[in-house]
Amino acid sequence: MRRSGWLVLALTGVAGCGSGGSTHDLVIAGGRVIDPESGLDGVRSVGIRDGKVVTIAEGELTGAKIIDATGLVVAPGFIDLHAHGQDDENYRVMALDGVTTALELEVGTEDVPGFYASREGKALINFGASVGHIRTRMAVMGDQGPFLPTGPGGRQAASDADIAAIRGRIEAGLAAGGLGVGFGLQYTPAATKWEVLEMFRAAAKFGAPALVHTRSWGTTDPGSSVESYLEVIAAAAVTGAPLHFHHLNSTSLESTPRTLQLVEEARARGLRVTAEAYPYSAGMTDISSPLLDQFENAPDSTYGKMQLVSTGERLTRASFRANRKPGVAVILHLNTPEMEALAMKSPFTAIASDGGLRSGLGHPRSAGTHGRLFGHYVREGGQIGLADAIRKSSLLPAQVLEGFAPAFAKKGRINVGADADLVLFDPATVTDRSTYQQPNLPSEGFRYVLIGGVPVVEGGQVVSGVWPGQGVRGTGQPKAAPTSAP
Ligand SMILES: [Zn+2]
């Protein structure tokens, strides 16, 4: 079939003119195609060949395989900018939630080539990672934490020589194709403003984004969300590195109106600043990390906002202290539904899960982020329009990265030449099912998910034995030096 397809392609001389005579590897027939870039929203058939969309037509198309998409929305696959779960357990529930590309951009990795090599040819969906300041700092400072810092990586000041060593490793990670520089400043409180600037300079040298979990979330200075957002907006302005805020919801809390305003104002000034949010009012982290040092001497009433992932029990001062060891995950009930919704609805927030399951345990955002977006926010609440929710899940995250990683210019949209990373879902039934008690229950309603034209979800079930996921990388090239202002 492929050979005859090529023959037709050669004879017509163009791919994607809408001709019904072409033969395709796969045709998605008669779905409601929504492309957030062109604004297309209509019933079309989509023809796929060699992993790419080659035809979008109003009439019928021929192909070796046909998927009847009648009644389903056909959207670009979702790109999750914040996915800590980078293994098969997580890729499966993410595929069932409509995700086609899972990116670990916040914590990132200290070993970019190793991250990609260990997943190549074995991944259900596409994957990628930044080079992470947290993990690189841990390596230089000698922190043994399994994922986040538990010792000097977070709490010990770096000398000038240490900072130079961290920056050198960060630049090596960018040269190896890392998708930007990840930061978790609340996990590395000992990192000075100058250290952060040095890492932004490394990002700027490659034209790579700085992807930041900010330093603090209080409402008063020092230590406010506003102060911590200004720290990195200033770093972006001084260095020229594009800036992305991870989970604006969970680092802003009741200051969400103010941090959204700061992002909007910085964008209006011409800075390349973007943000993301997830649709839950609780967060999750490792109980031993420096982020929770502030709870050591908190009022008694604060401890009940923390919930052990392993047992579901709410904490007290005594049980917080008893459980404070590496590898113990805790849910943090710190935000309100009102602030969550504000962050979700902003036109410039991408939707990103911050998910990561381990042996079925974790936060419901891992399996349910997009099910909850399209079930709760779009269908039930009417708070976000269907096409806008698709844009926030596909085109917007692609645009965060495409200036530095051109591969993303072929993702997040449905046009001729785009990668055939697609999701087909039923807008009338799509929903999340994961809960704080059962965080790994997969979403429902995402009927088909394609990675480069290969179905990884068919009829709402994961297809076994296919590994079409590809590593997506940055350019690895330093940018030409910018011209200086007069
Ligand atoms: Zn974070």
Q: Examine the pLDDT at 8 and tell me if it is beyond 60.
A: no
Cα separations in angstroms, 209 against 173, 183, 198, 402, 477 = 13, 11, 14, 10, 13
- Between the CA of 435 and the centroid of ligand 1 the distance, in Å, is 20
The rounded Å distance from CA 247 to ligand 1 centre is 7
In this structure, are 142 and 268 located in the same domain? Answer: yes
Q: Report how far ligand 1's centroid is from the alpha carbon of 455 (Å).
A: 31
Are 164 and 275 contained in the same domain? yes
**Measured between alpha carbons, how far is residue 350 from residues 67, 246, 279, 390, 415 in Å?**
29, 10, 11, 10, 21
Q: How far is the CA of 248 from the centre of ligand 1 (A)?
A: 9
What is the CA(302)–ligand 1 centre distance, in A?
20
User: What is the distance in A from the centroid of ligand 1 to the CA of 368?
Assistant: 18
Give the DSSP H or E segment for 367.
helix 365-372
Same domain, 167 and 61: no
Q: Does residue 40 register a pLDDT over 60?
A: yes
pLDDT one-digit tens code per residue, 132-142: 999 999 999 99
Q: Is residue 60 part of a domain?
A: yes
Rounded to the nearest angstrom, the distance between the alpha carbon of 106 and the centre of ligand 1 is 7
Model pLDDT, residue 484: 65
Return mean pLDDT, the chain: 94
CA of 312 to the centre of ligand 1 (A): 21
Q: Is residue 4's pLDDT more than 90?
A: no
**42: CA distance to ligand 1 center in Å?**
38
What band does 480 get if pLDDT is binned at 50, 70 and 90? confident
Structural domain harbouring 268 = 78-281+335-405
- List the CATH number of the domain containing 251: 3.20.20.140
CA of 428 to the centre of ligand 1 (A): 32
In 3D space, the residue among 183, 173, 259, 191 whose CA is nearest the CA of residue 224 turns out to be 259
C-alpha 321 to ligand 1 mean position (Å) = 22
Rounded to the nearest angstrom, the distance between the alpha carbon of 331 and the centre of ligand 1 is 13
Do 235 and 90 lie in one domain? The reply is: yes
Q: Domain for residue 484, yes or no?
A: no
**What DSSP character marks residue 407?**
G
CA 246 to ligand 1 center in whole angstroms:
7
Contact 264, 258 (CB under 8 A): no
Report the C-alpha gap between 254 and 334 in whole angstroms. 9
Tokens of 413: 């949209």
CA of 375 from ligand 1 middle (Å) equals 25
Q: What is the pLDDT of residue 10?
A: 32
Task: Of 38, 5, 26, 100, give the one whose Cα is nearest residue 69.
Answer: 26
Average pLDDT over every residue of 237-253: 98
Pair 315, 393 in one domain: no
Measure 189 CA to ligand 1 centroid, in angstroms.
14
- Rounded to the nearest angstrom, the distance between the alpha carbon of 146 and the centre of ligand 1 is 16
Beta bridge partners of 451: 454
**Ligand 1 mean position to 76 CA, how many Å?**
26
Task: Evaluate whether residue 481 is within a structural domain.
Answer: no
Q: Are residues 251 and 130 in the same domain?
A: yes
Lowest mean pLDDT among 294-298, 464-468, 480-484: 480-484
Q: Supply the CATH number for residue 55's domain.
A: 2.30.40.10
Residue 251 maps to a domain: yes
Assigned domain for 207 exists: yes
Instruction: Encode pLDDT of 130-173 as tens digits.
Output: 999 999 999 999 999 999 999 999 999 999 999 999 999 999 99
**Same domain? 346 vs 328:** no
Is the domain of 243 the same as that of 376? Answer: yes
pLDDT band at 479 (very low <50, low <70, confident <90, very high): confident
Distance CA 220, CA 183 (A): 23
Does 305 fall in a domain?
Answer: yes
Would 451 be classed as within a structural domain?
A: yes
Same domain, 113 and 151: yes
Residue 295 has pLDDT above 80, yes or no: yes
- Is there a single domain that holds both residue 254 and residue 383? yes
- What digits encode the pLDDT tens for the residues 387-428? 999 999 999 999 999 999 999 999 999 999 999 999 999 999
C-alpha to C-alpha distance for 292 and 252, rounded to whole angstroms: 16
CA distances from 211 to 74, 185, 233, 323 (A): 30, 11, 12, 30
CA of 135 to the centre of ligand 1 (A): 13
Model pLDDT, residue 1:
35
| Average pLDDT value for residue range 101-129 | 98
How is residue 94 written in tokens? 């993410």
Distance 126 CA to ligand 1 centre (A): 21
Cα(413) to centroid of ligand 1, in Å? 27
Q: Which residue has the tokens 């990195």?
A: 232
User: In this structure, is residue 468 part of a structural domain?
Assistant: no
Identify whether the C-beta of residue 79 lies closer than 8 Å to the C-beta of residue 408: yes
Task: Write the pLDDT tens digit of every residue in 309-358.
Answer: 999 999 999 999 999 999 999 999 999 999 999 999 999 999 999 999 99
Q: Which two tokens stand for residue 288?
A: 């031993």
Cα 299 to ligand 1 centre (Å): 24
Q: How far is the CA of 186 from the centre of ligand 1 (A)?
A: 8
372 CA to centre of ligand 1 in angstroms? 20
Phi-psi label, residue 8: left if phi above 0, alpha if psi -120 to 50, beta otherwise? alpha
Residue pLDDT, tens place only, 60-86: 999 999 999 999 999 999 999 999 999
Which pLDDT score, from 0 to 100, does residue 7 have? 34
Tell whether 206 and 321 lie within a shared domain: no
- State whether 54 and 131 are in the same domain: no
Task: Report how far ligand 1's centroid is from the alpha carbon of 398 (Å).
Answer: 20
What is the count of structural domains for the chain? 3
